[in-house]
Amino acid sequence: MTVLAKGRYRAVEAATPGALRRCLSLRAQVFPADGTHGFDEYDDRCRHMLVEDAATGEAVCTFRLLPLRDGSEVARSYSARYYELENLTGFQGPMVELGRFCIHPNAKNADVLRVAWGALTRIVDDEGVEMLFGCASFQGTDAQRHADAFALLHQRHVAPPRWLPRVKAPRVVDLARALRRPLDPKRAMAAMPPLLRTYLTMGGWVSDHAVVDREMDTMHVFTGVEIGAIPPARQRLLRAVAG
C-alpha cells in the first residue's frame, strides 16, 4: 500500500514477504550486524515502511514502527532493552517507536528523507500519535569520535526530568563527560546522524547518556518527540510534504 508519493519517490507499507525481504536487505547494508541476525523478535510486532524509487523500484530507505497504546506498554519496545523507561510509563497518549531507520549509502537525494518523514507525518496525524521515540545511532563505538555531538546534546537537548530515561545498559557514555576540549558547534552538528538532526529540529530530546552497542557497532541515544510540542513552522513544513 502506498502511503505517500512525491516526485521521484514513494513510501509504501511493506506488507508482503517480498517487500519485507527488501527492507531487511537494505538494513543489512547499513547495519551489517542485521545481516547476521536478520529478522528479530521486534519485527513481528512492527509495521515496516519502504521508500523506493518510483521509476526503478530501488529501495532507498526503510524503517519500522511499533504502535503503543500509551506509556503503560513502553516495556514492549526495543528501546526498553537498553534504557530504563519507568518515567515514560505515565505518558497518557498513543506512542510510536521508530526503529531501524536507514538510508541506502548511495542515496544522496534529500527528497528521500523528506518523503520518509512525510509518510511518517501522515501516519502520526491519521492515527493520533502523541509521542514518537526511538534510538538514534552513531556509527562506531569510539566515544571521542562523537564527543562534540554528545556535548552539544548534553548542553541543549537532554530530556525534561519527567521523561528522562535512566541507565540500564552495561556500557554507557555520560554525555556530560564525553568532551575533553572546547565544544565546536559546527563539528558537533556535522557529526549528528540525519535522523537525530531531524528529531532535534522538531524539538526532540535525548537521554543523558549514550549506549555502547558493540554487537551493532554503534552508539545510540534515546530520543523522544512530543508531537504537540513540535514548533508550528516545522509542523507546517512536515504537513506540506505529507499533504
List, as one string, the DSSP characters of 47-113: EEEEEEETTT--EEEEEEEEEESSGGGGGGSSGGGTEE-GGGGG--S-EEEEEEEEE-TT---THHH
pLDDT of residue 42: 92
Least confident of 24-38, 49-63, 68-82, 165-179: 24-38
Task: Give me the residue spans of the domains in the chain.
Answer: 2-242
Which amino acid appears at position 116 of this protein?
A
- Which of the listed CATH numbers 3.40.718.10, 3.40.630.30, 3.40.50.1820, 2.60.40.10 matches domain 2-242? 3.40.630.30
Q: What residue has cell string 523500484?
A: 57
On whether the CB atoms of residues 130 and 69 are closer than 8 A, the answer is no
Average pLDDT over residues 47-72: 95
- Over residues 34-54, the mean pLDDT reads 84
Mean pLDDT value of segment 210-221: 93
Judge whether 146 and 191 are in contact, CB under 8 Å: yes
Tell me the pTM: 0.92
- Scanning the structure block, which residue is given the C-alpha cell 547494508? 29
- In angstroms, rounded to a whole number, what is the distance separating the alpha carbons of residues 87 and 160? 10
